[in-house]
Amino acid sequence: MDLNLSSKIFVVTGGAKGIGEAISIALAEEGAHVAIVGRNMDDNLAAVEKIVAAGGHARAFQAELSHADACRRVTSEIMAQYGQIDGLVNNAGANDGVGLENGSPEAFMESLGRNLVHYYLMAHYALPGLKESKGAIVNITSKTAETGQGGTSGYAAANGGRNALTREWAVELLPYGIRVNAVAVAECYTPLYERWIKTLPDPEVALERISNQIPLGHRMTTPHEIACMVAFLLSEKSSHTTGQIIYVDGGYTHLDRAI
């Protein structure tokens, strides 16, 4: 399907690795220009090099997203480079294991900064550009907001906030024609997930056990499957879809995992 994204400008936070990289690649394959934003410039440049080598268009921008000044600066830089922003993908973050029992109030607040606050900051500073383009926002979120996980209060709370902001912004931005949706991830096999699996006593057994709990196909979701949904939600093919949290998870969150 041609999503008609050619020459559109999309900002992807954390767009150099894992799900973010898959989103950047998918958008570039549709002809879009991708502004990859993250704290590690070497990673950003490596992702850009890969996209350009495949014939796509991307540029790297460095920002520590937990800092409001950095979010303001990087959105200004993107507008200066491109003159427009057609869509924002809030993706950066990590399941950092800040729990109730093993955490601290300070660590909890830091986790919210790493995983939630910059979603607001990037949307706030990108808003003038999005108003001009009648663009779209896609927030990447996690099943932890609904299912819980244990030992990750900060990340779970951040994802609950991401879901709430998705619906709040969908209402607030209706007058501007800006659509806001979220894609919720459950068990997606990324390099980060692979590193975590390898820390367990028997990684192969653990991976098989988790995969067997995923109803559709008893397999992990791929980053590419997440990316395809994001590209669709950014496109005019989803022109009457807003305020939705879409679970690309093989039914893991809402279907009986014993199926």
Identify the CATH homologous superfamily for domain 9-186+222-247.
NAD(P)-binding Rossmann-like Domain (3.40.50.720)
Residue 1 has pLDDT above 80, yes or no: no
Tell me the pLDDT tens digit for each residue of 22-40: 999 999 999 999 999 999 9
3-class state of residue 180 by DSSP: strand
Query: Mean pLDDT throughout 8-25?
Result: 97
Domain ranges of the chain: 9-186+222-247, 188-220
Q: How far is CA 205 from the centre of its chain?
A: 29
Active site residues: 155
| Dist. CA 98–CA 153, nearest whole Å | 6
Q: How far is CA 77 from the centre of its chain?
A: 21
Report phi then psi at 218, rounded to 5. 50, 50
**With bands split at pLDDT 50, 70 and 90, how would you rate the model's confidence at 258?**
low
Q: How far is CA 154 from CA 13, 102, 103, 124, 144, in A?
A: 19, 11, 9, 22, 10
Rounding to the nearest 10 degrees, give the CA dihedral for residues 120, 123, 127, 133. -160
136-186 pLDDT tens trace? 999 999 998 988 889 889 999 999 999 999 999 999 999 999 999 999 999
pLDDT at 198: 86
**Residue matched to tokens 């601290």:** 104
Tell me what pLDDT residue 239 has. 97
Share of the chain above pLDDT 70, in %: 98
Identify which of 37, 5, 7 has the alpha carbon closest to the alpha carbon of residue 21.
Answer: 37
- Pick from 50, 120, 129: nearest CA to 85: 129
Q: How do residues 67-92 score in pLDDT, each as one tens digit? A: 999 999 999 999 999 999 999 999 99
Tens of pLDDT along 190-201? 887 888 788 888
Question: What average pLDDT score do residues 232-242 get?
Answer: 98
**What does the block give as tokens for 173?**
């931005």
